[in-house]
Chain A
Amino acid sequence: MEPKDHIDNTINHLFRQESGKMVAVLIKIFGTENIELAEDVVQDALVSALETWKYRGMPDNPRAWLYRTARNKAIDIIRRKKHSKTIDFSDPERKLLTSEYTLANTMKDFWKEQHIQDDFLAMMYACCHPDISQENQITFILKSLCGFSTKEVAKSFLTAEDTISKRLYRTKEYFRKNKIRPAIPFPEEIGTRTSAVLSAIYLMFNEGYNSTHDDQLIRKDLISQAMWLCKSLLDSAHTQLPEVYALMSLMCFHTARVDSRITEQGALILLPDQNRSTWNTELIRLGGNYLNQAAFGDTLTTYHLEAAIAYQHCTASSYKATNWKEILKYYDLLLHIDNDPIVSLNRCLILLELHGPEEALEAIKEIKDHKILDKYYLYHAILGEIHERLIQLNTAVEHYQQAIQLTQSKPEQNCLQQKIARILN
């Protein structure tokens, strides 16, 4: 590798890892009404790093170098804007930034290690405020806390950069208007606030895991960023909740199988046909550990149950050897927590394996909200599967065709086409 490439890779890695933390600290310093100022300082610090390291080589501690540079730039800005109305200095901690007697030490305080981590988590909670729509939450998290460029965020969502910029603007306006002060929530509300953070993380994860991106790098990025955010919650004593461990466990189990789901040509491989020897045993082991840690207290969330289901799949020696009975129990518990038609639908797949197509068809008829399901490709895909097993082949093909109409995803469409071809041949 050329030295320059090495520096580029290191700074890219650092950018992802540290820019979100630096943005969080700088937002604490400047206030949420000055998010752009915070982002500019981080951008400047990174440009300085690139310029300086190119000529003088990497410093021993690049992270400390970045923090120091950002801190010095922040001091310059404070000195320049001390008398402007841009920054609200009425807060006692910020007040000390206005005097040279206390500016340098106050600034150092802001950049203390334990503060950085707390500020980062506080920013995550602020981004996942219930007043901000979930897609705006994730957009903002990816851009500001995960160091994605607007272009990369647009790629992640398969949307135009314009749309992403608008979403970012709206979120920033929300922070500005409401003068949000990011903070880790108090114990009495940490549960509900964390659940919003977790569902944003899980959505981000699924965007990478389920999405039909051709771009493997973006997918892997989304998965690893979601796991990194979840890990940050686990690293802080305030936020080590059972449901956080459960989601982490679930994501480990899913990620362990991620490479076996798609051929090199981008075609889907369904669970029965996946090569289990390619599953990542280390991630499965980690997932198991997290699942054990998720078991303290009496909290039982959908993440716990989904992780338990994923655990059964990951540890089954073959598709046939899967413990469908145990999995069915978890589905029943899932439905008990949230009577979701999609979960009911997936439960029918378990019934299909466990008790055969007649019973699965019975169960599918009993699901309420058929109107929603009727527009869902997986509903028709499953009906196709059931009718195929009942050897009602015409009905099966009809459902597969309907499913094809209802999904945008090329790999899904190809997979369904193959099923039809299998019947017709």
Chain B
Amino acid sequence: MKEFLMLIRGGQEKYNSVSPEDMQKHMEHWQQWMGSLAQEDKLVGGQPLMNEGTTMTERGKKVIDRPFAEGKELVGGYLLIKADSLVHATEIAKDCPSFEYDCSVEVREIAPMD
């Protein structure tokens, strides 16, 4: 088993305009999907992120009071999962509920460092 990071980007605009009922429905999809990952022992962890943040460049000397990327590129959450391969992890990520809000999902394997 290898570990993979799923980076979820974009969708914030749509999230901000959704009705509480639709949001509740959407969160239930997260519940089902992450619940089945947990049942299969494929879930390591993961969190949604606030839209606000800071970005530091130039060896930390320059601080910008917003995340590095904006709009479709803004990272909105992450998940750590277990899978046999990148193909397998990608297969898992296809069911991520964030697609309902036009997010993009990037799947990356955790790199073992020697």
A contact residues vs B (CB 8 Å cutoff): 92-93, 95-96, 98-102, 104-106
Measured in the bound complex, the distance between the Cα atoms of B67 and A151 in whole Å is: 57
List, in ascending order, chain A residues with CB within 8 A of B43's CB: 95, 99
B contact residues vs A (CB 8 Å cutoff): 27-28, 30-31, 34-35, 38-39, 41, 43, 45-48, 77, 79
User: 14 extra interchain contacts, Cβ-Cβ under 8 A, other than A101-B48, A101-B77?
Assistant: A92-B35, A92-B38, A95-B43, A96-B34, A96-B38, A99-B34, A99-B47, A101-B27, A101-B46, A101-B79, A102-B30, A102-B31, A102-B35, A104-B27
Measured in the bound complex, the distance between the Cα atoms of B25 and A105 in whole Å is: 11
Closest 9 CB pairs of A and B: A92-B38, A95-B38, A105-B31, A101-B30, A92-B39, A102-B34, A100-B47, A99-B46, A102-B31
List, in ascending order, chain A residues with CB within 8 A of B47's CB: 99-101
Are A98 and B45 touching (Cβ within 8 A)?
A: yes
24 A-B residue pairings within 8 Å (CB atoms): A92-B35, A92-B38, A92-B39, A95-B43, A96-B35, A96-B38, A99-B34, A99-B43, A99-B46, A99-B47, A101-B30, A101-B34, A101-B46, A101-B47, A101-B48, A101-B77, A102-B27, A102-B30, A102-B31, A104-B27, A105-B27, A105-B28, A105-B30, A105-B31
List, in ascending order, chain A residues with CB within 8 A of B77's CB: 101
Q: Which residue of B lies closest to A90 (CB)?
A: B41
List, in ascending order, chain B residues with CB within 8 A of A93's CB: 38
Number of A-B residue pairs, CB cutoff 8 Å, is 38
Measured in the bound complex, the distance between the Cα atoms of B28 and A101 in whole Å is: 10
Measured in the bound complex, the distance between the Cα atoms of B69 and A236 in whole Å is: 55
List, in ascending order, chain B residues with CB within 8 A of A102's CB: 27, 30-31, 34-35
**Distance (whole angstroms) from the CB of A95 to the closest CB of chain B:** 4
Q: Which residue of A lies closest to B77 (CB)?
A: A101
Measured in the bound complex, the distance between the Cα atoms of B30 and A98 in whole Å is: 14
Q: Which residue of B lies closest to A98 (CB)?
A: B45
Measured in the bound complex, the distance between the Cα atoms of B38 and A98 in whole Å is: 11
